[in-house]
Amino acid sequence: MNAKLAQKKNEDKFYKKGDFWIRICLSILFLSVFFIVFFWCNGQLYFTKVNYVDDYRNFPFQVHIIDVEQGDSFLVKFPNNQVMLIDCGTQDEGENVVRYVKAFFKNEGLNKIDYLLLTHQDADHVGGATKVLSQINVENLIRPKVVTESESDLYPYYQVSQSQTYDTVINLAYQNECNIIFGERGLEYDFDGAVVEFLSPSQNYYSASNDYSAVIMITCLTKKFLFMGDATKQIEQALIAEYGDYLKADVLKVGHHGSSTSSSLEFLQIVQPEYAIISAREQSDFPSAQVSNNLNSLNIDILSTANLNNFAITIYNNQIVYAKAIFPSSELALLISIIIIALILTWGIKIKDNTNKNKQK
Ligand SMILES: [Zn+2]
């Protein structure tokens, strides 16, 4: 009996010891797999096919619509690998914009914003710029013709800002030694296959802050993208008078998030886009019923951040195509962790089972 008991004790020790080392090995395996998956996925952007294209990596021309709830933020990659960020959403959304831009950089092997365009001084466009300027290298800042108090002596013919947020952004740009440029009609950039033209503003003063908006036309191959900022119907009228049919575009970033202050039927008839981009919060009043009717009556497809969240547009086979952009890192890492934990637990039970069976023998 004593000999049998001693043998059992030895067996118990042996299995306990085995159990311990198996658990250690499994834990190491689990942690390694988790970290490999996490670091491999983390910060990468993936695209789910909406029409035609599901991998945007290395496309020479890309327009990314970053979901910043109620605000605007668009990232454009040009064929010469230069990058323009148009607006940064509100202060609260700044971190999301930084995350998106960094993920985009990781995908594309890029590391700086060549041009940060702040269309106008409103907080839903410039608020996030403090986060962007403090975390990402920005070479040139294109700003509205609105100056801070301390700059007013230098630019006596420009409107003085009433916004603390805007002043902070401009001061930060000076601190970071960005090259600072005023965005106005006539300004033009050639990105080796894509051209950016500034169609507005043309004046130094406007009664509505939204009318300071930079309106830009981006032309790549045969396709045209018109970005309206928050420009109102008054600016649309001025653009029609100045440019007429030249305003015809394939994609229109609708003015003022789809509010009824912009997007007159006359203007939409001239632009005649295939797609209208609307950047607005889910369950908001944007686009307004009036703008919605105008767009629908002209069979213009609405692409809104309210439904698509982050999405990207490119030109493929001479067609405008778009895809939803997603960050799977956290979800995928969590799913894999759960599967591995479940496997370890099952194996643990099996080992315990075998130990018990051995004990019974
Ligand atoms: Zn706005």
Using the 8-state DSSP alphabet, how is residue 180 labeled?
E
Picking from 79, 267, 104, 284, the residue whose alpha carbon sits closest to that of residue 276 is 267
- The amino acid that residue 313 corresponds to is I
Angle at 272 between CA 268 and CA 276, to 5 degrees: 75
Rg of the chain over Cα atoms, rounded to whole angstroms, equals 28
Does the pTM surpass 0.75? The reply is: yes
Say how many Å lie between the CA of residue 10 and the centre of ligand 1: 75
Q: Which two tokens stand for residue 287?
A: 């686009």
pLDDT for 1: 52
Say how many Å lie between the CA of residue 302 and the centre of ligand 1: 18
79 neighbors 192 (Cβ within 8 angstroms): yes
Say how many Å lie between the CA of residue 256 and the centre of ligand 1: 5
Say how many Å lie between the CA of residue 74 and the centre of ligand 1: 13
Q: State whether the Cα torsion 65-69-70-71 is positive or negative.
A: negative
Say how many Å lie between the CA of residue 92 and the centre of ligand 1: 14
pLDDT for 2: 66
| Strand, coil or helix: 100 | helix
Ion ligand 1 nearby residues (CB, 5 A): 124, 230
Say how many Å lie between the CA of residue 15 and the centre of ligand 1: 67
- Alpha-helical runs (H) found in the chain: 2-41, 94-108, 123-126, 129-135, 164-175, 233-243, 265-271, 289-297, 305-308, 329-360
pLDDT for 59: 87
Say how many Å lie between the CA of residue 328 and the centre of ligand 1: 29
229 neighbors 251 (Cβ within 8 angstroms): no
10-residue mean pLDDT series, the chain (361 residues): 66 62 75 69 66 72 96 97 98 95 90 98 97 98 97 95 96 97 98 97 96 98 97 98 98 97 97 97 87 97 94 92 77 69 67 60 53
